[in-house]
Structure formats: structure tokens, C-alpha cells
A and B are shown apart, each in its own frame.
Chain A
Amino acid sequence: MDTLSTVHPAGPAAAVVAVMWWVLLVGSTLIFLFVMILLAAAFRQRSAPIGPAHDSGRERLWIMGLGLAFPLTVLAALLAYGLVVGERLAPKPHPDLVTVGAEASQWTWRFTYADAPGRETWNVLHIPAGRPVDVEITTTDVIHAFWVPRLAGKLDAIPGHVNVLRIEADEPGEYHGVSSEFSGPGYRNRRFLVVAHPAADWTAFLNGEGMDE
């Protein structure tokens, strides 16, 4: 249950977006209700004054006020919010940074580790908990995407390109990941696991212990 849920975050990036979702939901609901009330109120019995003078007043209210000023204000605030969050999530230098590689193909993931050259794992990605991790994503055949919903948003694996995604797990544990760009008949079962280790286990992993995959 909830292993792929974006609203049960387990890392800072996913947490920010989960909050964002609730903000967006509340804001949208309010706007929706506002519009619906205006719409319903048009049907009440009354006689509206007619004539061009009244029309220009209406244009000021409905078009310049509600049509232009209202969305411009809301959208400007929203955009600023989105850009600030986006800026915060972007990969930036960090003293504790760990770099791993994720190479997709139909239909497996191969993971490599900058701190342990030559070390490879298939369909299980090991990371340290509580430290930012940059995943360098690419593919050997068609387009795939790397997505661990509880940790962060997704990023595509594009042939010939390397995309870098910043993820982080707050706590040690196992997190489910899926490829989320359609890649043919085997697409549905394109799963992988991210194992976040406590610091000691991570060192052990890098030293080559517990290589059982």
C-alpha cells in the first residue's frame, strides 16, 4: 500500500511537492466554487439593465477585473511559488553529495556508483539515507524514465544524453521505483527498488560487502 504514492513522501523533494499538491487543491477548489457561484447566480430572476453604457461597466468588471486582473494575480503568485520550489530542488553542489549512475534498457536498470568504481547492481539502487544523491540517468535503447515517487519527481532517460536527478531519502528503508515513460510490451513490470542505508551500512556496501544481487 502507498509504495508508489506521491502524497506519502519519504524525502525532501517529494515532501515539498506533496505540500504543493494540497496547496494547489485548496486554491483550485476555492476558484472553482467561486466560478460556479457566479454561474449559478446568473440564473436568478432579475431584470438586467440594458444599453451600451451598462455594457462598458460590465466589461470593466467581468473582463478587466475577473478576466485579466484576477488570474494575473493568482498566476503570478503561483508561478513564483513553482519557480522557488523548482530552484530548491535543482541539483546543486553539496558537501555530502553522492553520485550514482542509472542506465535503463528494455527492461532492466543497471546502477553504478561513483564511490565504488566497477560496482554494479541490477534493479536495486543502493543509496545512503539522509544524504543528497545525484542520479545520472541514461539509456541504451528506447526512452525510459527514472521515478521513485516517494523520494522525488521523475526524469527521462534519453539515448545519448545524461540527465541528473537529485533524490534523497530521509530515513533508511526500501522505496519502490518504476520507469514512467512508456517503453513497449514490458513496460508494466519496469520496477526497481531503492535501498537507503544507514551510514555504516552504506560504507559496508561501498566496500563490497553484501553483494548478493
Chain B
Amino acid sequence: MNALRRHRALSRIWASDPGFRGWFTTVNHNDVGRMFIVTSVFFFLVGGILAMLIRAQLATPRSAFVGPEIYNQIFTMHGTIMMFLFAIPLIEGVAIYLLPKLLGTRDLAYPRLTAFGYWCYVFGGSMLLFSLLVGIAPDSGWFLYPPLSSTLGQPGINSDFWLLGITFVEISAIAAAVEITVTVLRYRAPGMSLTRMPVLAWYLLVTVVMILTGFPPLILGSILLELERAFGMPFFQVEHGGDSLLWQHLFWLFGHPEVYIIFLPAAGVISTILPVMARTTLLGYGWVVAAAIALGVLSFGLWVHHMYVTGIPHMGVAFFSAASTLVAVPTAVQVFAWIGTLWKGQPQLRLPMLWILGFFVTFVIGGLTGVMVAIVPFDAQVHDTYFIVAHLHYVLVGGFVFPMMAALYYWLPHVTGRKRFFKLGEAAFWLIFLGFHVTFLALHWVGLLGMRRRIYTFDSGQGWELVNLISSIGGFVATIGFGLVLVDIIVNAVVATRGVRNPWGAGTLEWAMPTPPPAYTFASLPSVSERDPLLKEPRLGVGLAKGEGFLGDPSRGRRETLCVETASGRPAYLVTFPDNSALPFALSAVTGGIFLGMLLKAYWLIPLSILGIVALGVRWVWTTGADRDRGPMDVGRGVSLIPAEEAEDPPGWWGSVFLLLADATLFGSLLFGYAFLWTVAPNWPPPSYLAPDPVAAVLAAVGGLVAVAAFRLAARALEQGGSAIGWLILAALGAGAVGAAAISVMVARPDFTAHAYDATLWVIAGYVLLHAALAVLMALFLAARGWLGFLGPRRRGPVRVGQIWADYLLVVAAIGLGAAWLPGAFA
């Protein structure tokens, strides 16, 4: 088979559906990655228009352009859109598009999940966009502090759009994070050990693990605040045992890591592009990776620096101030590693490099003001002033937008297969770079002169007029620059000439393929023996197209790739991906029913949507697996591997482990909230405790243990060639018993509006109940699968997946129900 015939065969197998339908059924990372990127750029434009409205309003004192009601929506939505609907989704899009190519594989671990995440993002984002257009958008600032954002300060529907829309969008972040984690750990080219991984893959790995542990506190906070607003559960109402500070802790437990979730991928981009622009390799690869990991870990210990002025005890503040200054160290390691790389090589001032220089100038200033505000007495003066607005834009625009512009111009030839012909990009760079600094540099100063953020207008005579006028002019200059970039991209994508394959002479695998990339990405998978395979073997792509790598034979007619062992990169098993499917779109639309039901207070929609989700979910998993043992199969180059469903640790198992990591963080945040209210909220302890219920306790303990044991016995029965069905049904009964015990807690404290204690019991019990229901469903699903012959002596993987969910149920039931009953037992 020659390269062209192979290309045709693979293209047929991997092709998305033609035409309009293809948009809704594609699961290919090439498509979905680009859809993510384009959609996030759209939201950047919306957020940018809002920024221009802000600057128009603030250009002169006493401006009558908009009043406070509208202005409050504008700045809230500007911040919200930029953080949640632009920055994070853009990162996801870039990761989705690039990662399989960098890693030398054909797609991400769960293609349908990629598409599902995209649609959740679109639907959640549309909710917020709708609220903006109709003029009922969230208006209490992007961190939505209650009581202002709760029923006391905002009785309307505005805050609900935020809480529900953003939570919907967060589903997509969690989905992408699970998928990217598993992809980096398992879906790489054979031979690509962890130490040979491109540095960007390391950065993305750290980023997504941070998403898995950083987003759940916000998701929990949003759920609690929505429950307070919808049903009067008083988590944040002090007179009923709540505390508004709990929201701030949950929000910033997310919010500070969020800043690094945005910065780290940008730093990864710089670590990738900068050495290529200097015709050398990255100085101190190991140090840089260690610095990225250290940043990730440290950033979870800093959230209180956003709360210095809330009256945190003195010692606590000292600790967090120390941690906040310390976090500058790993950042410094990276910055100096990059400059050292430039010294080591021969830097060339091409357009991506220009943007990287823009990054250095801007980000270093933002980092230095960041160290300033880590110092408590200084922060007490500038907190909530324009000094902070300036600081955060130096970090976000300098540390994220500028590197993304470098990425845009660096990978554009990869996406379009063309080389830049009209050179508007340089002019655009200068407009944006200078415009940005004109906008924000002097705003530091008006902040020090006492100009608070979030005021819709200001009086003259305080020395603020000139700076604000200049700032607004700078903002418009930068906007023109962004417009020019857009024109540049469109013009060059349409009319420029075809480019060469690896225009920058880079060493990473994404350049070892035709551009624009075909749907199947690699015609055969490379075997990797160093960090920059293309430096040693520039013609690697040609060999891969000829089928010299793994899986070069498309004759099985399925979308195939390989999973490798995590550390060594030795090939482990063969993965067959699902085909195009409308399920992701349908599932996210049905999921939207829950959010719509909450938003419109049409609660009947919720059980209906849950039924729909269960039905579609069953349909989804049903299509995986095989109805007979297939045994090892040929994957090329003389190697045979077992298929995924016969592995001890199939992809579903890995996905479950990392989903449970996020889930456990959410549960941990819930327990943190419970303990926080207990120790800090003024109106505690509650008037009375829940009386422990011995019957329910025994039910939960026995049920949980039975479920855990039965899953293990089911796997054993399969291994010995027997049937697992009986054991699986027993497991379902056990999990059901745990659910019944959880319900007993709710029944015993029916009034969840009485005190935050009762509301918390409901949420804990609800959490246990949800996991019990999940375990029941899984056990019954597996029993049905077993009955139809989809389980076998080699195909025990699915049961192992169910087993870890049952194990998790036992743990959360023990901790959750224990936390509910124990205070009453000791009282």
C-alpha cells in the first residue's frame, strides 16, 4: 500500500460527516479543537466590546453614557466572559487541537467526551450571552460575593444566570481535564517516556490536574449559592447559621489556582516556541518542569491573599503572605531559564518572538506588582482600587493573551498549511503592545490616588481625569490592533500561498504530518527515542506517511491508536475509538434541561432531564467493548497487543480515577464548608443536632461493604469463567441500602431552611444518595452487559470500573454519614 492509498483509506475511516450535520456529530479533536478556539475568540470579542464600553464610560468624569445598573452588568460580564468563556476554553481548544499531535497519537482518550464538553460550553455560554442581550445579566462582580449576589442583594434572576451558566461551562472544563490527563499519561507514541515528553505536554498535565482539584470548590460554591437562592438553604446567611465568608473561601480556593491554570499553558507555549525561535533547545528542561509542578502545588496555598482585608487572624495572614511571595520563585526559575535559553541560542526576531518579547516586558511588570500586593499592609491600601485592575491585566494580558498571540502566529501555518504573505501582523503587534501599556500603566497611579474599581463614574478634581482619558485612548488603539490581527488571519488563511511542512525547523512531532492536518493526524505512529524527534530525523513525517510506524495498516477499518505504559512509554494495548455520533450533542442538550429547569423554576424539567441523561448515558457506554475475547492483535512493526477492553486498566478505569479525583475534591470542599461554618460562623452550634439512627447506620455499613465485596466477587467469577450477574445484582442491592440510609437523614431533618446545619446535612446526604444511585445503575448496567455476553474471562475491565465507584461510595458514605451523625451522638 503506498502513501496515497493509505491516506485515502484512513481519511475514509476518520472522516467527519459531510456538511451541516458534521458539525453536530464530529468527535475528532481537529474539528472540536478548532471549534473551541473559534468560539472562545468570539467570546473574546464580546468581552472586548464590553471593555470598550467600560473605557468609553470612564473616559471623562461624570459621564452619562450608562448608569450604575447597566455598568454593573457590563464590568461583571466583562470579567466573567474573559475568565470563564474566553481564557479557559481557549486553553482547552489549544490543548485539544495540539496535544495528540505533540504526543504522536491520533486522537484524545475520549473523543465523544471532547464533543460533549464543547456543547456544554456552547449552551452554558449562550445562557450568559442571552442574559447580557436582554439586560438581566449578573451584576455583582465576577466573584459574585453574597449577600450582594444572593436574594438579599439581587432578588432577580441575574445571579442565577451566572451560577447555572458557569457551572454548565465548568462541566466542559472537567470533561476536558479528565480527558487530557488520561491522554498525556497513556496516549503517547511508543517510546515516548515521561522524560521525553514535549515540555508543553508537562505544562498541560499540571494545568488539567489543577482544573480537577481547583474547579470543584467553585462548582460546590455555585451549587450551594444556587440552593440558597432557589430554596432558601441558608449557607451564606449569617442569621441562620451561614456565613458569607464561606463563599469567599470556596471562590478563591478556585480563583487563585485559576490564575495559574491560565498562566501555565501560556508558559508551556513559551517554553515550546522560544527555543525554536532561538534555534536551540530549552535550557533546564527538568528545572522548568519542576517549576511548573511547584507552581501548581503552591498555588493552592495562596487563596487567602484575596481576603487580606476580610479580617483574617494575624498569624494566618502572615503565613499566606509568605506563601504568596514564595510563589514568585518558580516563576523566576522559568523566566530566567527562558532568558538563558535565548543566550544559549541565536534568537531571531520573527513575529512569534516579537510577541514573546511583549510577554516578557508586560508579565515581569505584572509579576512585580503581584509581589507588591502580596505584602499585607500595601494590599490593604490598594485592594479594590485601579491598582489591582492594572495589576491583573498586566498578568492576564501579558501572561496569557500575548503568549497566545505568539502561539497563534507560530501554529497558524500548521492549521492552514499556508505561509504568511501579507504582513499586517507586525503592525498589529505594535498597536496592541503600545495600546495596552498606554491603557493600563498609569491606572496603577490613579489606584494609588484612591480610584476604586467598579465605580460607574467619578468626579473631577481628584487628579484622575487625564489618566482615565489616556487610558481610554490606549484601549481603543489596542482594539484596532486586535481588529487588524483578525483581518490578518482571515486574509492569510484565504489567499496566502502554500507553505512548507516545518516552517520553523521545530523538533516536536506536530510538524511530522501534512498541513493542514488530515483527520487521522498520523498515517502511522512514530517510535520515539528522544525529546525532539524531528531535529535528528527531519524527514520523519515522510516515513510515517509511508506507513513505517505503528498501525500503518488501516485494513481493520476502525479508528485505532495505542496506549502506552505511563512512565516508560512501552506499548500496552490497542484502542479502538468510537465513530461520529450525535450523542454528545444530545446529551449536553438534555443536561441543559436541568440548568434551564433551575433557571426558570420549572422544576418538573429536572427529573425529566435526569431520565434522559440516564438513557443517553446507557446508550453511550453500550457502544463500547466487544462481545467476545479477541486476544492480541497485530499493530505493525512485528508487535501484537491486546485490545483495550481486555486490559486490567482500560481507558474507562483511568478516566474514572481522575473524575473521582475531582469528585473527591468537591466532597472535601463540602466537608471543609461544614467545618468552616462550625468553627467560624457566628450562629453555631445549631439549636439541635440530628439524632443518630442505628438502623440506618447498620444499613449503610452493611450495604456499602456488600457492594464493595460483590464487585470483587463478580470480577473473580468472570476470571474463573463463571457468570457475574448474581454478584452484580447483589452489589446493586448493597448500594441501594446506602442510598436508603442517606434518605433517612433528610427525612429526619425535613426543614432545610431552618439553619445552615440542616441545609448542610441535606447536601451531604444528597451527595451520598447520588453516588449510591450511580453505583446501582452501574451494577445493573454491568449485569445486563454480562447477560448479553459483553463480559468474559478476559473482559473484566468494565467490572473493575464499577468497582472503584463502589469503593468510593463506601468511603463517602462512611465519612459523610459519620459527619452527619457523630455530633448528635456526642451531644
A contacts, CB < 8 Å to B: 1-7, 13-14, 16-17, 20-21, 24, 28, 31-32, 35-36, 38-39, 41-43, 47-48, 50, 54-55, 58-59, 61-63, 66-68, 70-72, 75, 78-79, 81-83, 85-86, 89-90, 141-143, 145, 149, 152-156, 158-161, 163, 178, 180-188
Contacts and interface: CB of A to CB of B under 8 A. Distances in A.
A32 B357 CA distance: 14
B372 A184 contact: no
A42 B383 contact: no
A63 B336 contact: yes
B454 interface: yes
B239 to A, nearest CB: 8
Contacts of B334: 67
Given A42-B339, A67-B332, A153-B309, A78 B371 contact: yes
B152 A141 contact: yes
Contacts of B681: 160
Given A67-B335, A182-B140, A153 B377 contact: yes
Interface string B629-642: 00000000000000
Interface residues of B, number: 86
B69 interface: yes
A154 B343 contact: no
B377 A2 contact: no
A159 B333 contact: no
A143 B335 CA distance: 39
Interface string B303-333: 0000001110010011001100110110011
B811 interface: no
B457 A180 contact: no
Across the A-B interface, give the 5 residue pairs with the lowest CB-CB distance, nearest first. Answer: A153-B380, A4-B450, A62-B340, A160-B238, A163-B311
B148 A143 contact: yes
Contacts of A184: 72, 140, 148, 153
Contact of B450 (A6, A31, A152): A6
Given A71-B329, A145-B309, 11 more contacts: A32-B365, A35-B364, A39-B357, A58-B343, A61-B340, A142-B153, A143-B244, A152-B380, A156-B309, A182-B141, A184-B72
B814 interface: no
A68 B321 CA distance: 19
Contact of A2 (B311, B326, B449): B449
A137 to B, nearest CB: 8
B683 A142 contact: no
A143 B344 contact: no
A182 B384 contact: yes
A99 B495 CA distance: 73
B283 to A, nearest CB: 6
A43 B72 CA distance: 46
Contact of A24 (B68, B326, B378, B380): B378
Contacts, number: 242
A196 B332 CA distance: 46
Given A48-B343, A62-B283, A158-B311, A21 B378 contact: yes
A182 B456 CA distance: 11
B380 A17 contact: yes
Given A20-B375, A75-B329, A39 B342 contact: yes
Contact of B336 (A14, A67, A89): A67
Contact of B457 (A17, A67, A153, A188): A188
Contacts of A72: 329
A48 B344 contact: yes
A186 B72 CA distance: 11
A23 to B, nearest CB: 10
Contacts of A2: 449, 462-463
Nearest to B449: A5
B158 to A, nearest CB: 11
A63 B347 contact: no
Contacts of B365: 28, 32
A21 B283 CA distance: 35
B283 A59 contact: yes
B452 interface: yes
Interface SS of B by simple majority = helix
A24 to B, nearest CB: 5
A110 to B, nearest CB: 18
Contacts of A50: 280, 344
A6 B364 contact: no
Contacts of B318: 83, 86
Q: Which of B69, B280, B309 has the most CB of A within 10 A?
A: B309
A90 B316 CA distance: 14
A2 B332 CA distance: 36
B531 to A, nearest CB: 13
B399 to A, nearest CB: 15
B781 interface: no
A17 B147 contact: no
A1 B462 contact: yes
Contacts of A42: 278, 339, 342-343, 347
Nearest to B382: A6
A187 to B, nearest CB: 7
B325 A79 contact: yes
A116 B430 CA distance: 62
Given A17-B378, A83-B318, A38 B339 contact: yes
B450 A178 contact: yes
Contact of A156 (B311, B326, B347, B458): B311
Contacts of B451: 4
A32 B309 contact: no
Contacts of B141: 182
Interface string B331-355: 0111111011011111101000000
A70 B335 CA distance: 12
B682 A160 contact: yes
Interface in B255-281: 278, 280
B252 to A, nearest CB: 14
A83 B153 contact: no
B535 interface: no
B360 to A, nearest CB: 6
Contacts of B339: 35, 38-39, 42, 62, 66
Contacts of A85: 375, 377
B679 interface: no
B454 A182 contact: yes
B140 A7 contact: no
Contacts of A155: 309, 311, 380
B369 interface: yes
B382 to A, nearest CB: 7
Interface string B381-398: 111110000000000000
A161 B311 contact: yes
Contact of B383 (A13, A35, A161, A180): A180
Given A143-B145, A145-B309, A90 B375 contact: no
Contacts of B239: 160
Contacts of A90: 314
Nearest to A35: B364
Contacts of B377: 13, 16-17, 20, 82, 85-86, 89, 153
Given A31-B368, A90-B314, A182-B148, A79 B462 contact: no
Contacts of A28: 365, 368-369, 371-372
